[in-house]
Amino acid sequence: MPLEELFYKALEAGYRRGWHKLLAKYARAPATGRYQSLLHHSINTALTGWRLAKLLGVEEKYLEPLFVGLFLHDYAKSAKEYQERVTRGWPTPPEKIPRGQLAEDFEKLLDELGLKDWSRGIARRVAYLNEAPSTPFDYAEMLSAGPLPEKLLDVAVLADVLNSIRGYWELGGRVSKILGKYGFRIAYHQVSIIRGVVTQLVHRAVEEAMRDKGYEP
């Protein structure tokens, strides 16, 4: 399925479930003046994963299940219990793996997004394995999920990390280590004053300069 079609299918599914009204990151809860909705985080992580996969040369057959798996990687956060806790500022990690009714809904969403058989299994593993387990149930489910190709798992981890960090100062460590395995390194630029349209022009100019030098923004 082409990326554009997959994107709009996922976006529609997220809006139907009200993900734009749910929180994905408690560190960005409204009390701090910043937040990241579940829909925003899920879509951005999926798009980042697709982009990284193309950049790192992941096989074409993995792109669709990678996108879907990353779109669903925080599905358990749609649970009412998690949303109640996060809005109260209780940073208790949720279960990573959905179960019960949530697990049934997860499988229905895989149907909606058109995945079957092999692709479905890959998407499920991407969704389950891109983060460390939070509970014994998570750990048991992850062990039984089956492996992923190393590069695919690295892309899944990177995509989530890049959409979870609070700023450029968190780009070292894990991000640099994973990219370094494939001969890449990450660079960034910083502007000291934000002036709306002018700032965007500066960003675009830097992107063009990077492309001229063979880099990939």
Confidence at residue 52, expressed as pLDDT on a 0 to 100 scale:
94
Tens of pLDDT, residue by residue over 30-83, are 455 557 899 999 999 999 999 999 999 999 999 999 999 999 999 988 988 888
Q: What are phi and psi of 131, to 5 degrees?
A: -140, 165
Distance of alpha carbon 167 from alpha carbon 98, whole angstroms = 29
Mean of pLDDT values over 124-144: 87
- Percent of the chain at pLDDT > 70 equals 92
pTM: 0.86
Structural contact between residues 6 and 68, judged by C-beta atoms closer than 8 angstroms: yes
Position 92 confidence tier, pLDDT thresholds 50, 70, 90: low
Confidence at residue 28, expressed as pLDDT on a 0 to 100 scale:
46
Closest by Cα among 46, 25, 23 to 109: 46
Contacts of 41 (CB under 8 A, 6+ apart): 24, 25, 74, 163, 164
Domain boundaries, the chain: 3-186, 187-217
Mean of pLDDT values over 136-158: 90
Which position has the higher pLDDT, 65 or 195?
Answer: 65
Structural contact between residues 109 and 133, judged by C-beta atoms closer than 8 angstroms: no
Q: Is the pLDDT of residue 139 over 70?
A: yes
Q: Is the pLDDT of residue 132 over 90?
A: no
Sign of the torsion angle spanned by Cα atoms 89, 165, 163, 57: negative
Q: Is the pLDDT of residue 29 over 50?
A: no
Q: In angstroms, how far apart are the furthest CA atoms of the chain?
A: 51
Confidence at residue 2, expressed as pLDDT on a 0 to 100 scale:
87
Q: Is the pLDDT of residue 107 over 90?
A: yes
Q: Is the pLDDT of residue 173 over 50?
A: yes
Confidence at residue 16, expressed as pLDDT on a 0 to 100 scale:
94
Sign of the torsion angle spanned by Cα atoms 155, 57, 217, 67: negative
